[in-house]
Structure 1
Amino acid sequence: MQEYIINGLLIVVALLAVILQIIGMRPSAGMTKKQKVMLWRILTATVLLLILQVLGAGAFEVFGSAGRWVRLAVFLVDYLVIGYDILKKAGKGIRNGQVFDEHFLMAVATLGALALAVYENGDYLEAIAVMLFYQVGEWFQSYAVGKSRRNISDLMDIRPDYANIEREGKLEQVDPDEVGIGTIIVVQPGEKVPIDGTVVKGESTLNTAALTGESLPREVKTGDEIISGCINMTGLLHIQTTKEFGESTVSKILDLVENASSRKSKSEDFISRFAKIYTPAVCYAALALAVLPPLVRMFAMGLDAGWETWIYRALTFLVASCPCALVISIPLSFFAGIGGASKAGVLVKGSNYLETLSQAKIVVFDKTGTLTQGVFEVNAIHHNEMDERKLVEYAALAESASSHPISKSLQKAYGMEIDRSRVTNIQELSGNGVIATVDDHQVAAGNDKLMNRLGVQAIPCHSVGTIIHMAIDGKYAGHIVISDIVKPHSKEAIQTLKSAGVRKTVMLTGDAKKVADSVASALGLDEVYSELLPADKVEKVEQLIQNKPEKEKLAFVGDGINDAPVLRRADIGIAMGAMGSDAAIEAADVVLMDDDPMQISKAIKISRKCLGIVYQNIVVAIGVKLVCLVLVALGFANMWLAVFADVGVMIIAVLNAIRALFVKNL
C-alpha cells in the first residue's frame, strides 16, 4: 500500500513541477494568484511527506519517549499545510447550518484516519495522502474553470476601454459611458468600435471575428451603420453614435453571456437536488457502518467488536462517497459549452436553453433574412397606361414610412431622395399593404388582398416573386415584381440539419404561395406555409408543437426583428444574423451573430456535444461511486481505492468537461 501511495506522490510532484515550469516560462498560460499559491502548497506538502517517509519512524527515536509525539506534530504540520482551508470551510459550514458538503466529508475522514493512526501508533501517510490528492483534484478543477472563463474572456475582449472624441484638433480618450447619442467619435486603425453608430466620414475594413466567430472582414463606408465590438483594421473612421454605450450591441452581448450561468438546466437542477439528499444519506450510512456491525458482532454473535476495522471502513466510505465529480463537472460542462459556443459566435442565454436545443427535432424557419438574403430587388415592372418610372415613384413614396425590406427595394429602384412632404394619410394594413395620399392622389400598393379590399380588379402575374399591385385613385395601374435571393449555404444547411438528426424542416412566410413553394422546393424543405400574418405564424407554430411527440423540441429560426412573438412561443427561439438587432437579443434564447444558416446546425451540434459530455460524466461518476461504496462497505476496498473514487473520477470528469470548449470542427 505504501509503495503505491509513494509512487503516486512522486508522479504528482513530477506532474506539478512540469506544470509550474511551464507556467513560469509562460505567464500568459493563465494561472491566478490563488492557483499558484495552491500549487506551491501541494508541492510543499508532497515533498515534506516524501521526506518524512524516507526518514521513517526511526529518525524520531532520538527524542526518546517523546519521539512519537514529535513525529505526530511534524505530520500535523504537513496536514495543515495541505488541508487547513478544507478544515476552515468545514467549520464555516457547520456554523452556518450547512453541514453536509464535500469539505465536511473530507475533514471527518482525514481527521478520523489521523485519530486512528494515533490510537494504533500507526502510519499517518494515508490520511495526509487522501487530503493531498483531494487538493490536487480541486486544483485541476479550478484550473479547468479558469480555462473556460478565459474562453469567455476572449469574447469579453470586445468590451471597449475608451472612446476617442476630437476636441480642439486633438483626440481625447473618454469613458464610453460618458458619450451621448449624436456624438462624433473617432476610431483609429487597430482600435475597437466602442458604440453603435453611423459612419459620417472615412472608409475601412472591420474585423468582426469577436462577434461572429468568423474572420471574414467587412467593408464600411460613409453612410453605413456600424456596431460596437468590431475592430477597425485599416482606415480612420468618424462615427456618429446612435445609441448610448449601455444600450449598444457590445453591452447587450456582454450582459447576455455574463448572465448565462444564472439559468440552470434540468440536469444541473437534478444534480443540486441529488447532492442535497445524497450527502446526508452517505454520512448517516457511514455512521451506521461504524456502529451497527460492531454492535451486532458483540451482542448477537459474541465476537470481538473490531471497532478500529469498522471505523476505518466508515472513514473510507466517506472519502469514496464525496460527490465532487458530479457537483463540479456538470456545471463546468455547461459552462464550457456556453464558452465554446460564444467563441464560435453562438450566444446561448443559459444552460437550460443549451439542453433544450440539443433535443430539437423540428426546425421551423422564417424565410426572409433567414434562408434568403432579405435583399429585395425590383426585377420587373408591368404597367397599364401609366409611365413605368411614375409607377415606381408612386410606390416608393407610398411605402416611404415603412422599414420593410420591400419598401427599401422600391426606394432603391426609385433612386432619388424621398420628399415625405408629398405623402399624407398613410395607412399600413398588416398582411395587405399600404394606402397613402401622394400628390393628392390615393395610392394603394400591396397584394391581391388589398386590391380585393378596394374592389379593384388586379391583373395576375406569372412571375415568381413578390408582386406589388398598384391602384391610383381606385383604378388599377400595374404591378411591380420584387424577388429575394436565397443565401448561398441555405440548401447545404438544411441537408446538414437532417444529417444531424433533425426530423422535420418547415418554412413559414408571408410571401405568396408561388414564391414560397419555389424557395422550399429549391432548398429541400419538408413543409411550407405561405401568406401568413405574424399572428398566423404563432398559431402555426402552436399547431406544430401540439402535434409533435412530447420529448421532441421545436426550434424557430428568425431574423429577430419582426419574429419576436414566434421566437418566444417556440420551445427554443434562435435569432440569426443578429448583430445590432436589439429585438433578436431580447426575444431569442439563442443568438447567432452571423447570418450564415450553417451556424444553425453548428449550434445544435455544440449543444448535443455538451449534453453528451454531461451524461457521460453523470453515468461514470455515479457508477464508479456506487461500485466503490459497495466494495468499501464489504471490506474489499481500502482508502487508496476511495481516493480514486473521489479525486480520480473528479479529474477524469473535469478533463472530459473541458472537451465542451472545443467546437471549431463541429
Structure 2
Amino acid sequence: MNKKQKKMLVRIIVATVLMIALNFIPAKGATRFLLYLIPYIIIGYDILIKAIKGIKNGQAFDESLLMAIATIGAMALAIYEDGDYMEAIAVMLFYQIGEWFQSYAVGKSRRNISSLMDIRPDYANIEKNGKLEQVDPDEVGIGSVVVVQPGEKVPIDGTVVVGSSSLNTSALTGESLPREVSVGDEIISGCINITGVLKIKTSKEFGESTVSKILELVENASSRKSKSEDFITKFARIYTPVVVYSAIALAIIPPLVRMFGMGLGADWGTWIYRALTFLVISCPCALVISIPLSFFAGIGGASKEGVLVKGSNYLEILAQTKYVVFDKTGTLTQGVFEVNGVHHNKMEEKMLLEYAALVESASSHPISKSLQHAYGKEIDRSRVTDIQEISGNGVTAKVDGTTVAAGNAKLMKKLGIKYMECHDVGTIIHMAVNEEYAGHIIISDIVKPHSKEAIAALKAAGVEKTIILTGDSKRVADQVAGYLGLDEVYSELLPADKVSKVEELLSLKLDKAKLAFVGDGINDAPVLTRADIGIAMGAMGSDAAIEAADVVLMDDDPLKIVKAIKISRKCLRIVHQNIWFAIGIKLICLVLGAIGIANMWLAIFADVGVMIIAILNAIRALFTKKL
C-alpha cells in the first residue's frame, strides 16, 4: 500500500469505530447531530471537496456529486424527522471502502506493468585506465565497449566480445530459465547478468535500445482506449445528469400530484428519501472503474508473461482474432541459416563460396550472413564494387573486376543465364560468374522448437485459419507449412506482394473476425501496419517491426501468440461480465427504490457492493499462469 491508501484505511477504521460507538451514547437534538457529523466529515470530506470543485469547473455530474447530494440529503432528512444518521454515514463509508479497493487493485495492476521499469539501467560501466567508471547510458555511443558485472543490468544492446555468463531475462520475456551467452552472441538491454563478467560492444544508442523501446511502449499503453472503455466514458457523461434529473423528478412530482388531490398517499419526506436512495443506487462507479481496470489488469498480466500490448484497443481486437498470418523467417523458423550443400560447375567449391560471400557482403539478411559464415574468412569489402540489389531476385556486383550474380531462379532468367534446376529442400542461391552459370548453394533454415505446438494450440483456441507468407520458393514453403500444419501457403512473394495478399485476405474474412499478422523483419513493417493487429517478435525483431506492431513478444516464442489471445479473451469475458452484472443489478434496484421497496442499505449494496464485486472480478485478468 502507498501512503494515500494507508491514510484512507485509517480514515475508514476511525469512522467505523466512531459510528459504532455513537450508537451507545444517549445524545439528542443538536448534540447528536454534531457527534454524528464527526465521522461523516472524517470519511467524506474529500468527496465533498471534489463535488464542489466539479461544480466550479463546470463538470458537476460525476459520482462525487451523486454521493454528496445523497448523503447531505440523508443527513438533512434525519435532522428534519429526528431520524437515523447512520445511513448517510454508511453510504459515504462504504463508498470510500469501494474506492480503496479500486485504488488497491489499480496499484496491483500498475505494479505488474511497472515491474518492467526495473529493467531501466541506472548506469553503464566504461573501462578507463584499467578502472571502471560509471556513466549515464545516454552518454555511451555506438561501438563502445561496456562492462557488465554479475548482478548488474545490461544497459545497451550489443554483442559480447569478452566473457561468458548466464542472463536473467524474466523481466523481459517472462521466462524463468536463464539464457547462456558467450563471445559473438547478441544481447539485449534490460537483462540481468548472473555469473561472469561480460564486455559488450554496443550496437545501438541507449535511446534506441530494447529497454528504452519497451519502457516507451509500456508508458503509452494506457492512452489507447478500447471501444468498451470509450462507450462507458460516453455512457457516464449522459447517464449521470439523467439520473440526477430523474431523482429530482422523483422527489418533487409525486408529492405535488398528491397536493393536487390525485390520491398518492405519501409525503415529501418519503419521496425525498426514495430519490436519495435512487441516487445512491444509480451511481455508475462499478462500470466507470471496473471496465478500464479490467483492461489495465489484462495488459499487466500480459506484460508479466513477456507479451507487451500497446493499448486496450489492441487487447479487444486480439480477442476477436480468427485468422493468423505468419511471415516464415524469424517467426516460425529461427532465421538461422546454414549452408548444407554446394553444387559447382567448372569452379572450385571454395572459390564459389568466396564469390557468394563477397557479393553478399553488403547485406544484413540472414542468408547473406550464412554465406559469409560458410566462407569462414574476414570479408575484404574493398574487393567488391558496383553492388546492385534487385528486390526479390538477388544481388549483382563486381568482385576483383569480375561480374558476379547471386540470387534465385528469377535472377538467372532476368540475366538470361541458363541454370541447373535443384530439387533439394532449402533456399537455392544460383551463382553466375562473367555471365556464365557457376553452380548453386543450398541454404536451410531451422524451424523453431515450439512452432508446431503453437499452430496446434491456435487451432484449439478457435483460430479458423493459419496462413504463411514467404519470399521463399514454393517447395521450401510447402515443406515447412506441411510439417507445421498450416492451412494456407503463399510463397515467392515480394514485400509488396505480402501487403497485397493481406489486403486480399482482409476482404474475404467475416466482418467481426480479425486478422493478425506475425512478423519480425524490416520488410514486415508495412504488413504489420495493414493487418487488423500486428504482432512482432521483439527479442531479435527489427526496430521497424516493433514500432509498427500492436503487440510485441519479448522472447520470440510463437507459443506466446496463443497466450496473448487467451489473455485478451479472458479480459473481454471479464469486461462483459462486469457490464451485464452492474447494469442488471442497478436496474432491478432502481425500480425497487423508485417504488419504495429498496432502502438506503440496499442502495449501498447496489452501488458499493456491485463495485467491489466488479473490481475483484477485474483483478482476475492479472492471473495468467494457467491459460
TM-score (norm 2): 0.98
Counterpart of 2:100 in structure 1 is 139
Q: Distance in 1 between matches of 2:5 and 2:206?
A: 35
Q: Distance in 1 between matches of 2:17 and 2:132?
A: 57
8 Å contact kept, 2:538–2:546 = no
1:390-446 deviations in Å (ceiling 9; x for gaps)? 111111111111111111111111111111111111110001001111122111111
User: Is 2:50 the partner of 1:89?
Assistant: yes
Counterpart of 1:64 in structure 2 is none
Cα displacement (A) at 1:301: 1.5
Counterpart of 1:513 in structure 2 is 474
Cα displacement (A) at 1:533: 0.2
Counterpart of 2:341 in structure 1 is 380
Which amino acid counterpart does residue 153 of structure 1 have in structure 2?
Answer: S
Distance 1:278 1:437, change over 3 A: same
Cα displacement (A) at 1:248: 1.5
Counterpart of 1:352 in structure 2 is 313
1:614-641 deviations in Å (ceiling 9; x for gaps)? 1111111111111111111111111111
Trace 1:65-464 onto structure 2 (pairs within 5 A). 67-302=28-263, 306-464=267-425
Higher alpha-carbon deviation: 461-470 or 240-249: 240-249
1:536-590 deviations in Å (ceiling 9; x for gaps)? 0000000000011111100000114320010000000000243463222211000
8 Å contact kept, 1:578–1:585 = no
Counterpart of 2:2 in structure 1 is 32
Counterpart of 2:618 in structure 1 is 657
Higher alpha-carbon deviation: 471-480 or 260-269: 471-480
User: Is 2:28 the partner of 1:45?
Assistant: no
Q: Secondary structure at the match of 2:119?
A: coil
Which amino acid counterpart does residue 323 of structure 1 have in structure 2?
Answer: P
8 Å contact kept, 1:205–1:218 = yes
8 Å contact kept, 2:357–2:371 = yes
Which of 454, 457, 462 is residue 496 of structure 1 equivalent to? 457
CA RMSD in angstroms, aligned pairs only: 1.3
User: Is 2:618 the partner of 1:648?
Assistant: no
Which amino acid counterpart does residue 254 of structure 2 have in structure 1?
Answer: P
Q: Distance in 2 between matches of 1:477 and 1:303?
A: 103
8 Å contact kept, 2:309–2:551 = yes
User: Is 2:499 the partner of 1:538?
Assistant: yes
Which amino acid counterpart does residue 74 of structure 2 have in structure 1?
Answer: A
1:186-215 deviations in Å (ceiling 9; x for gaps)? 211011111222323222111111111102
Counterpart of 1:10 in structure 2 is none
Higher alpha-carbon deviation: 87-96 or 578-587: 578-587
Cα displacement (A) at 1:176: 2.3
Which amino acid counterpart does residue 606 of structure 1 have in structure 2?
Answer: I
User: Is 2:24 the partner of 1:54?
Assistant: yes
8 Å contact kept, 1:575–1:584 = yes
1:160-182 deviations in Å (ceiling 9; x for gaps)? 12222334433333332333333
Distance 1:206 1:580, change over 3 A: farther
8 Å contact kept, 1:554–1:572 = yes
8 Å contact kept, 1:249–1:579 = no
Q: Secondary structure at the match of 1:485?
A: coil
8 Å contact kept, 2:254–2:264 = no
1:256-276 deviations in Å (ceiling 9; x for gaps)? 011100000000000000000
Higher alpha-carbon deviation: 94-103 or 195-204: 195-204
TM-score (norm 1): 0.92
Cα displacement (A) at 1:299: 1.1
Q: Secondary structure at the match of 1:38?
A: helix
8 Å contact kept, 1:577–1:596 = no
Q: Secondary structure at the match of 2:24?
A: helix
Cα displacement (A) at 1:34: 0.5
Cα displacement (A) at 1:381: 1.2
Q: Secondary structure at the match of 2:29?
A: helix
Which amino acid counterpart does residue 2 of structure 2 have in structure 1?
Answer: T
Which amino acid counterpart does residue 543 of structure 1 have in structure 2?
Answer: E
Q: Distance in 2 between matches of 1:154 and 1:237?
A: 25
8 Å contact kept, 1:494–1:525 = yes
Q: Secondary structure at the match of 2:80?
A: helix
Counterpart of 1:548 in structure 2 is 509
Q: Distance in 2 between matches of 1:635 and 1:556?
A: 56
Q: Distance in 1 between matches of 2:479 and 2:201?
A: 42
8 Å contact kept, 2:290–2:611 = yes
Cα displacement (A) at 1:293: 1.1
Q: Secondary structure at the match of 1:259?
A: helix
Cα displacement (A) at 1:389: 1.3
Cα displacement (A) at 1:226: 1.9
Q: Distance in 2 between matches of 1:197 and 1:535?
A: 31
1:436-468 deviations in Å (ceiling 9; x for gaps)? 111221111111111111111111111111111
8 Å contact kept, 1:162–1:174 = yes
8 Å contact kept, 2:404–2:434 = yes
Q: Secondary structure at the match of 1:157?
A: helix
Q: Distance in 2 between matches of 1:109 and 1:604?
A: 43
8 Å contact kept, 1:394–1:438 = yes
Q: Distance in 1 between matches of 2:492 and 2:121?
A: 44
8 Å contact kept, 1:555–1:573 = yes
8 Å contact kept, 1:573–1:590 = yes
8 Å contact kept, 2:359–2:405 = yes
1:456-503 deviations in Å (ceiling 9; x for gaps)? 111111111111111111111111111111112111111100010100
Cα displacement (A) at 1:225: 2.6
Distance 1:504 1:104, change over 3 A: same
Q: Distance in 2 between matches of 1:384 and 1:242?
A: 40
Higher alpha-carbon deviation: 115-124 or 180-189: 180-189
Q: Distance in 2 between matches of 1:528 and 1:619?
A: 42
Cα displacement (A) at 1:71: 1.1
Distance 1:191 1:303, change over 3 A: closer
Q: Distance in 2 between matches of 1:420 and 1:595?
A: 32
Q: Distance in 1 between matches of 2:298 and 2:506?
A: 27
8 Å contact kept, 1:204–1:232 = yes
Which amino acid counterpart does residue 244 of structure 2 have in structure 1?
Answer: C
Q: Distance in 2 between matches of 1:136 and 1:128?
A: 12
Q: Distance in 2 between matches of 1:107 and 1:632?
A: 18
Counterpart of 1:616 in structure 2 is 577
Cα displacement (A) at 1:535: 0.2
8 Å contact kept, 1:160–1:192 = yes
Which amino acid counterpart does residue 357 of structure 1 have in structure 2?
Answer: L
1:503-562 deviations in Å (ceiling 9; x for gaps)? 011100001011111111111111000000000000000000001111110000011432
Runs of 5+ consecutive residues of structure 1 not aligned to the other structure: 1-30, 61-66
Q: Distance in 2 between matches of 1:132 and 1:497?
A: 47
Q: Distance in 2 between matches of 1:360 and 1:420?
A: 47
Q: Distance in 1 between matches of 2:158 and 2:274?
A: 68
Trace 1:562-641 onto structure 2 (pairs within 5 A). 562-579=523-540, 581-641=542-602
Runs of 5+ consecutive residues of structure 2 not aligned to the other structure: none
Which amino acid counterpart does residue 355 of structure 1 have in structure 2?
Answer: E
Higher alpha-carbon deviation: 225-234 or 543-552: 225-234
Which amino acid counterpart does residue 318 of structure 1 have in structure 2?
Answer: L
8 Å contact kept, 1:265–1:351 = yes
Higher alpha-carbon deviation: 204-213 or 651-660: 204-213
How many residues matched?
627
